């Protein structure tokens, strides 16, 4: 009897530490990841719907800097918690390239589709859909898209892998099948 309980007692501390570790979710374009916020019952099902690379600016005044291009990322946010989700999604999103360089959102609007407003309020059970834009160097390949609630302060980070594409101006779009 002692032999059977000893391995269980050895494993319990390891299981306890895993339960307390910050969660991180991994997916690919089209996958929905369940994320939790920093307080209350803040929960979102976040879907990375589409990546448009390169994306075109909506007007001639909003062009990326020389040597850079725009990338537009479409997210669907569904509030699955019991608290209202009120946040600026652009603050919690970033993309990471093949050299592990991180890029935050830009305020440049693109022709990819409807952009997320600066601030969203999503009631429980409701959904919001929109694009966030990023400016990246022409020679960067987007490898990962990340999203975190509470303007990026939540420890629960959704991470999606983007298919590797060669750097440069070639058009690259990936679309998820919508339910």
Residue 31: what pLDDT?
Answer: 94
The overall average pLDDT reported for the chain is 82
Task: Say how far apart CA 110 and CA 133 lie, in whole Å.
Answer: 7
**Of how many residues is the chain composed?**
179
Buried b (16+ CB within 10 A) or exposed e, 141-152: bbbbbbbbbbeb
Residue 11: what pLDDT?
Answer: 39
Q: Is the pLDDT of residue 173 over 90?
A: no
The pLDDT confidence band at residue 13, using thresholds 50, 70 and 90, is very low
Q: Is the pLDDT of residue 170 over 80?
A: no
Q: What does pTM read for this prediction? A: 0.78
CB 70 within 8 A of CB 110: yes
Q: Residue 10 belongs to what H/E stretch? A: helix 2-20
22-56 pLDDT, tens digit per residue, is: 444 588 999 999 999 988 889 999 999 999 999 99
The pLDDT confidence band at residue 165, using thresholds 50, 70 and 90, is low
Q: What residue spans define the domains of the chain?
A: 23-175
- Let me know if domain 23-175 sits in CATH 1.10.357.10: no
Q: What percent of the chain has pLDDT over 70?
A: 77
């Amino acid at each position: 009897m002692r032999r059977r309980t000893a391995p269980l007692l050895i494993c319990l501390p390891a299981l306890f530490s895993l339960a307390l570790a910050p969660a991180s979710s991994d997916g690919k374009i089209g996958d929905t990841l369940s994320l939790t916020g920093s307080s209350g019952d803040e929960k979102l099902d976040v879907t990375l719907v589409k990546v448009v690379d390169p994306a075109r600016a909506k007007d001639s005044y909003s062009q990326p800097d020389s040597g850079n291009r725009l990338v537009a990322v479409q997210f669907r946010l569904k509030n699955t918690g019991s608290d209202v989700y009120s946040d600026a999604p652009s603050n919690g999103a970033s993309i990471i390239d093949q050299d592990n360089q991180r890029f935050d959102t830009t305020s440049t609007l693109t022709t990819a589709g409807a952009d997320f407003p600066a601030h969203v309020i999503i009631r429980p059970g409701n959904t919001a859909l929109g694009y966030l834009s990023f400016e990246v160097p022409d020679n960067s390949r987007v490898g990962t898209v990340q999203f975190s609630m509470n303007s990026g302060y939540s420890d629960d980070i959704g991470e999606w892998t983007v298919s590797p594409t060669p750097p440069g101006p070639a058009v690259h779009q990936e679309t998820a099948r919508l339910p």
